[in-house]
C-alpha cells in the first residue's frame, strides 16, 4: 500500500461515481483504491474500489465472472462478510465497490505477531475463525429472493482474504470474486495456490461448501499452532494436501485442547463426506469450545491485542472503524496475558501467505510483563527515596 497510483492516470482523481482518495494495493487481477462516493446523500465514509487491471480486460470470460460473482456478493449482508455496495462499468473498465475494513488481514497480523514475538493467542485465534465460520454459514445457505439456494462457495478462504477490523470483527473479502481470479490463473496456465485448497478442489472436481470448510481448517490449524501446514511452492503444496499425513495438533503442542483438536481434524478430513457438513455446525462447536475455555474470548480482546500489536490504529482508519469506543491505552497495558503467545510463523513474500520457520516449537514470549517489572522497580525506588527523605527530616 502506498501513495503511487499504479494503473491509474496520475491526474485521475475520480472514477465512475467515486473520488479517488489513494491507491490501496494490488490484488491478483485487480487494483484496489480507497475512494469516497460522489453521490449526493451517500455517506462520505471510505470505500474500497476494486478495478480490473487493464491487461486482463480482454479475458472476457473472467471479466464476466468478476461481474456476475460481484453481483451475487452484493446480495450478501452479514457482519463477517465485507459488504459489496456497487458493481459496475465505467470508462471501458469494471469495478466492485465495497465497505472499507479499517484493520489488517490475517497475513499481516501473523507477520507482525512474529516480528514482535506476540503471536495471536489461541483463544483469540479460535474466536476469529469462529466469526469466519459464522460468515460462511450465512453465505453457504443464502437464497435468491424466490428462496432458491444459490450454492455460494467462496473458493479461496485464506489468511489474505480475512480482514480483522480494529474493533475485532473478522470479515471475509473476495466472496465469489475469487472464482474469477482462479479462472484467470487457469486461462493463463499459471499454477493455482494450493496451500489452503481442499483436495477435491485441487483435483478439479465439482466443489460445494465443504471445500471452504477444509480451507478454514487449515487456517485454524495454523493460527492455533503457530506453524504452516501445507507449505511450499504449488507442486509441493499440492502433494502435501493430497498425500502427506496431517500432523495431529496434540503431537505438536502438549497443551492443545482435545476438543479443539477434534474440531480441527474434522475440518481437515480429506474425504469430504467425513468432514463437517455445514459451517453452522463448525461455528457452534467453536462457540461451545470457547465457552468452556478459561477466560473465553471477546472481540474487545482482539481489539486490544491489535492495538498493542500495531501500537495504534492509523488516524485515517479510526474514522472509518466500526462504531463504538476504541479501547483505551490503559486497558491495552492492563492485558499482559495477551503477550504470552508463541509462534514460529513467518510470511512468504511471494505467496503472501503465512510461512513456517525452520526451527523449533512455539515459544512463549512476554513483552508487556517486562514493562511491569520496570514499573515495580521504579515504584520501589521512589518509595525508598521517600522513606529516606522523611527519615532524614529534622525533628
Ligand atoms: N474491503 C476491504 N477493506 C480493507 N482491506 C481490504 C478490502 N478488500 C481487500 N483488502 C485487502 O487487500 C488485499 C487484496 O485484496 P483482494 O481483494 O483479496 O485481492 P486479491 O485476492 O485479488 O489479491 C487483501 O488481502 C486485504 O488485505
Ligand atoms: Mg484476495
pLDDT of residue 140: 95
Closest-CA residue, ligand 1 atom 8, reads 173
CB of 161 sitting under 6 A from ligand 1: yes
Q: Which of 226-235, 323-332, 350-359 has the lowest mean pLDDT?
A: 350-359
5: CB partners within 8 A, 6+ apart: 12, 20, 22, 23
Ligand 1 mean position to 225 CA, how many Å? 25
pLDDT of residue 182: 75
Ligand 1 mean position to 302 CA, how many Å? 20
CB of 121 sitting under 6 A from ligand 1: no
pLDDT, tens digit, 9 for 90 and up, residues 119-166: 999 999 999 999 999 999 999 999 989 999 888 999 999 999 999 999
Band (10; pLDDT cuts 50, 70, 90): very low
Q: Which residue has the higher pLDDT, 298 or 281?
A: 281
pLDDT of residue 319: 53
Active site residues: 156
In the chain, the percentage of residues whose pLDDT exceeds 90 is: 60
Mean pLDDT score across all residues of the chain: 82
Our mutation pick for probing the ligand 1 site, out of 32, 47, 76, counting the most ligand atoms within 8 A of Cβ, is 32
Band (387; pLDDT cuts 50, 70, 90): low
Exposure letters 45-64 (e unless 16+ CB within 10 A, then b): ebbbbbbbeeebeebeebbe
Band (390; pLDDT cuts 50, 70, 90): low
Residue 353 has pLDDT above 70, yes or no: no
Under 8 Å between Cβ of 164 and 170: yes
Q: Which residue has the higher pLDDT, 356 or 86?
A: 86
Closest-CA residue, ligand 1 atom 15, reads 27
Residue 172 has pLDDT above 70, yes or no: yes
Point out the ligand 1 atom lying closest to the alpha carbon of residue 30. 22
The ligand placed nearest to the CA atom of residue 321 is 1
Ligand 2 mean position to 3 CA, how many Å? 21
Cell of 245: 499425513
Under 8 Å between Cβ of 299 and 168: yes
CB of 159 sitting under 6 A from ligand 1: no
- 3-state per-residue secondary structure call for the chain: CCCCCCCCCCCCCEECCEEEEEEEEECCCEEEEEEEECCCCCCCCCEEEEEECHHHCCCHHHHHHHHHHHHHHHCCCCCCECCEEEEEEECCEEEEEEECCCEEEHHHHHHHHHHHCCCCCHHHHHHHHHHHHHHHHHHHCCECCCCCECCCCCCCCCHHHEEEECCCCEEECCCCHHHHHHHHHHHCCCCCCCCCCCHHHHCCCCCCHHHHHHHHHHHHHHHHHCCCCCCCCHHHHHHHHHCCCCCCHHHHCCCCCHHHHHHHHHHCCCCCCCCCCCHHHHHHHHHHHHHHCCCCCCHHHHHHHHHHHCCCCCHHHHHHCCCCCCCCHHHHHCCHHHHCCCCCEEEECCCCEEEECCCCCCCCCCCHHHHHHHHHHHHHHHHHHHHHHHHHCCC
CB of 321 sitting under 6 A from ligand 1: no
pTM score: 0.81
In the chain, the percentage of residues whose pLDDT exceeds 70 is: 76
Q: Which residue has the higher pLDDT, 373 or 231?
A: 231
Amino acid at each position: 500500500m502506498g501513495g503511487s497510483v499504479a494503473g491509474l492516470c496520475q491526474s485521475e482523481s475520480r472514477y465512475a461515481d467515486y473520488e479517488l482518495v489513494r491507491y490501496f494495493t494490488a490484488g491478483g487481477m485487480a487494483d484496489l483504491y480507497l475512494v469516497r462516493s460522489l453521490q449526493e446523500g451517500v455517506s462520505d465514509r471510505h470505500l474500497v474500489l476494486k478495478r480490473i487491471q487493464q491487461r486482463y480486460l480482454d479475458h472476457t470470460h473472467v471479466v464476466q465472472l468478476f461481474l456476475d460473482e460481484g453481483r451475487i456478493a452484493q446480495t450478501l449482508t452479514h457482519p463477517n462478510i465485507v459488504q459489496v455496495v456497487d458493481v459496475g462499468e465505467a470508462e471501458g473498465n469494471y469495478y466492485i465497490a465495497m465497505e472499507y475494513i479499517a484493520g489488517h488481514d490475517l497475513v499481516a497480523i501473523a507477520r507482525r505477531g512474529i516480528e514482535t514475538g506476540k503471536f495471536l493467542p489461541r483463544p483469540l485465534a479460535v474466536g476469529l475463525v469462529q466469526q469466519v465460520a459464522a460468515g460462511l454459514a450465512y453465505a453457504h445457505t443464502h437464497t435468491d429472493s424466490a428462496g432458491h439456494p444459490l450454492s455460494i462457495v467462496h473458493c479461496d478462504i485464506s489468511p489474505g482474504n480475512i480482514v480483522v477490523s480494529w474493533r475485532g470483527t473478522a470479515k471475509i473479502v473476495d466472496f465469489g470474486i475469487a472464482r474469477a481470479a482462479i479462472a484467470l490463473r487457469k486461462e493463463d496456465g499459471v499454477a493455482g495456490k494450493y496451500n489452503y485448497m481442499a483436495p477435491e478442489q485441487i483435483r478439479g472436481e465439482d466443489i460445494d461448501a465443504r471445500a471452504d470448510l477444509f480451507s478454514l481448517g487449515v487456517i485454524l490449524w495454523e493460527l492455533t499452532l503457530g506453524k504452516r501446514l501445507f507449505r511450499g511452492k504449488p507442486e509441493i503444496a499440492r502433494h502435501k494436501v493430497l498425500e502427506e499425513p496431517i500432523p495431529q495438533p496434540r503431537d505438536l503442542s502438549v497443551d492443545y485442547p482435545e476438543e479443539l483438536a477434534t474440531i480441527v481434524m474434522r475440518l481437515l478430513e480429506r474425504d469430504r463426506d467425513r468432514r463437517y457438513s455445514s459451517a453452522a455446525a463448525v461455528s457452534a462447536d467453536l462457540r461451545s469450545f470457547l465457552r468452556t475455555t478459561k477466560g473465553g474470548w471477546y472481540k474487545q480482546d482482539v481489539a486490544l491485542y491489535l492495538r498493542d500489536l500495531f501500537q495504534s490504529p492509523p488516524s485515517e482508519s479510526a474514522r472509518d472503524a466500526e462504531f463504538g469506543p476504541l479501547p483505551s491505552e490503559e486497558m491495552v497495558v492492563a492485558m499482559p496475558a495477551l503477550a504470552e503467545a508463541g509462534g514460529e510463523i513467518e510470511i512468504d513474500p511471494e505467496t503472501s501467505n503465512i510461512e513456517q520457520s525452520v526451527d523449533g516449537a512455539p515459544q512463549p514470549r512476554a513483552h508487556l510483563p517486562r514493562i511491569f517489572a520496570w514499573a515495580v522497580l521504579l515504584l520501589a525506588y521512589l518509595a525508598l527515596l521517600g522513606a529516606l527523605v522523611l527519615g532524614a527530616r529534622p525533628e
